[in-house]
Amino acid sequence: MTRLKKRGAGRQLHGGKVAYAVLILFTIGSLFPLVWTAIAASRNNTRLAETPPPFWFGGNLFKNLEIAWTDANMGTALVNTLVVAGSVTVGTVLFSTLAGFAFAKLRFRFRGLLLLLVIGTMMVPPQLSVVPLFMMVAEFGWTDQLQSVILPTLVSAFGVFFMRQYLIEALPTEVIEAARVDGASSVRLIWHVVFPAARPAMAVLGMLTFVMAWNDFFWPIIALTQGGEPTVQVALAGLGRGQIPDQSVIMAGALLGTLPLLIAFVLFGKQIVGGIMQGAVKG
Amino acid sequence: MTDIPSDASAAAPSTGEEGAAPRARAGTLAGDGREAVAGARSGSLPGAADPAADRAAERRRARRSRRYRRDVKWSPYALIAPFFLFFIAFGLFPLLYTGWASLHRVELGSPTDMEWVGLRNFSRLMEDDFFWNALRNTFTIGLISTVPQLLMALGLAHLLHYRLRGSMFFRVAILTPYATSVAAATLVFVLMFSRTDHGMINWALGLVGIDAVDWQNGDWTAQFAVSSIVIWRWTGYNALIYLAAMQAIPNDLYESAALDGASRWQQFRHVTIPSLRPTILFTCVVSTIGATQLFGEPLLFNQGASPTGGSDHQFQTLGLYLYEQGWFNQHLGRSSAIAWTMFLILVLIGLLNWAISRWIRRSS
């Protein structure tokens, strides 16, 4: 009792049985579709058309994965997605940190105006730029090439805003002044002062960007084709179009496309949860 | 803040100049001090290599300080340049050019041939029943997916805020749908919402005596199924955002509420919810924006992933309608008009949100 009182009245109470029951229910609800994807991927098409649906694994998993890997182009798609999401993440984090630092700590002409521009376009949906982007890609002959999906998402207004918000508090202005008085050039200042201070926020932004880039759907299915250089999402859309009628292979494809991020979640779940919660407080 | 860089740049050359003097003096200590100092000043004394070296050093120092000043003055622009280069080329320019394209007739086959048509794309849109249908569907699906999602997220966050065994496990578990892509999730849900009784959901309904539902072909059932994918993917994410905000509420608020004899429910109602208002508003805005652009779920939920949004367009959203007009009916101009209409709707929502948040701030 005394311990409880010390921790404050209402909040840090232990959860009751009901709390656990509800949380377990939501956990099952969250995980079941994923587990069932694996179950369905390990069966065959005829079994999936029977009643009741299967609730345990069959023996076809590797066969289905192999068909998805080759026939649905999932192998190429995974490599392509890794390239796309990797470059977009590096670009976004680097450019957002540099610009975010400038907006947070340096004075220059039109700073307020430019920042307003960044914030104003932060929530503009991708639909608004898709037609001109399509024209550009057609003009440059980039159809079905990875740069057509990398370049348009290489920077993000949200990223700049996010880094700015973080650096305003995390990087004391006195530290920058001291470095300047010591005669540090901008390059040294950024390398030795800004990057170390920004590292936690860079990690959060990088993680959010990677998940977003991995799962990006709207623009890639316009710019890329399934038979050429698809990303995972483009290949999955091809499966959705009924390119391979076998449901268990479709599920194998969905499993392949999700597995890399799921593994990351199992390994870094704690950090990812922490990152999202941190990002929520800052943003 | 304005003064800092200029101060620093003013300080740098002065240290450079002062730095020059002691070194010149030190160099002349070997020879005749006075002469050398004079030489350093006039630079006319022959014989000693020192004055020339000094001048070179001074020039170097001056160059360095000039470079330093330039660095301080121009580095902000260099820092924002990469971002703005890409931002203008692939963000701002397309955004504005969509507006320009919406006033033209543009065909998918030759997207660079544009023919001026004024506002005809917009007037055609207003006359098109499918546009109004898509607008209605976007609104209803948005409502069905956002409201239960945020309410459940709030409840979940409240539970996760208790001291729990395995709380990190629960947090990671409810976040995993967020890692699942729209495409993968929708493919799985399509199979689970399969129309005949072998679909997982119809089978489960059958257990409690409800007949198999033809999810895809009913109006409300299809919209519900599409919404359920959105709900599944985003509830956990929003719960974590609420949880983060709850953890920031100072404990004293609860303590004094408890002293006043407030029950747990009353504490939730009168302490938690008011403190979360800004966060709730934020998630509402983000979810609304997401709902306005809804695209992948209704596309892949349809038979053969065709952009009609069901046999009767019963779950065609604005995003899907835009895609159908542009990339199936080949009218990119009309597509652009739809995009700008969506944008106007979002601006309207933004203004509404601004008004509401102002009203909340004034009332509290």
Q: What is the pLDDT of residues A120-160, one digit of tens each?
A: 888 788 888 999 999 998 888 888 899 999 999 999 999 99
H/E segment holding residue A132: helix A130-140
Establish how many alpha carbons lie within 13 A of residue B147's alpha carbon, considering only the half-sphere containing its beta carbon. Answer: 7
DSSP labels, A47-101: HHTSSSPP-S--S-HHHHHHHHHHHT-HHHHHHHHHHHHHHHHHHHHHHHHHHHH
| A&B contacts, CB < 8 Å | 359
Does ipTM surpass 0.95 in this model? Answer: no
Task: Give the residue among B176, B34, B319, B315 at the shortest CA–CA distance from A259.
Answer: B176
Q: Which of B186, B279, B292 is closest, CB to CB, to A125?
A: B292
Q: Residue B1: its chain A contacts at CB < 8 A? A: 107, 173
A188-202 pLDDT, tens per residue? 899 999 999 999 999
* pLDDT at residue B48, as a whole number: 53
- Residue A219: pLDDT over 50: yes
Query: Which listed CATH number (1.10.3720.10, 3.40.225.10, 3.30.750.80, 3.40.630.30) goes with A65-282?
Result: 1.10.3720.10
- Sign of torsion over alpha carbons B299, B300, B306, B310: negative
Interface of A with B in 112-131 (CB under 8 A): 114, 117-118, 121, 123-131
User: Is A29 touching B (CB cutoff 8 A)?
Assistant: yes
What are the residue ranges spanned by the domains of chain B? 3-84, 128-363
- Cβ pair A155:B11 closer than 8 A: no
How buried is residue B279: exposed, middle or buried, by Cβ count under 10 Å (0-12/13-18/19+)? buried
User: How many C-beta neighbours within 10 Å does residue B295 have?
Assistant: 22
Query: How far apart are the two ends of chain A, measured CA to CA in Å?
Result: 37
What the block records as the tokens of B213 is 């539902």
* pLDDT at residue A9, as a whole number: 41
B128-363 folds as MetI-like fold (1.10.3720)
pLDDT by residue for chain B (364 residues), tens only, comes to: 333 343 333 333 333 333 333 333 333 333 344 444 444 444 444 455 577 888 888 888 888 888 888 888 888 999 999 999 999 999 899 999 999 999 999 888 887 788 898 898 999 999 999 999 999 999 999 999 999 999 999 999 999 988 888 889 999 999 999 999 999 999 999 999 987 667 888 888 888 888 888 888 888 999 999 999 999 999 999 999 999 999 988 888 888 888 888 888 888 888 888 889 889 988 988 888 889 899 999 999 998 888 888 888 999 999 999 999 999 999 999 999 999 999 998 888 888 888 888 887 787 6
Backbone angles phi, psi at B127, to 5 degrees: -85, -10
**Mean of all residue pLDDT scores within chain A:** 88
Task: Give the residue among A228, A130, A32 at the shortest CA–CA distance from B106.
Answer: A130
**CATH 1.10.3720.10 residue window(s) in chain A:** 65-282
* pLDDT at residue A99, as a whole number: 96
Contact A143, B66 (CB under 8 A): no
Q: Residue B326: its chain A contacts at CB < 8 A? A: 130-131, 134
User: Is A182 touching B (CB cutoff 8 A)?
Assistant: no
Q: Which residue has the higher pLDDT, A207 or B195?
A: A207
Average pLDDT, integer, range A166-173: 90
| Closest CA in chain B for residue A161 | B83
* pLDDT at residue B174, as a whole number: 94
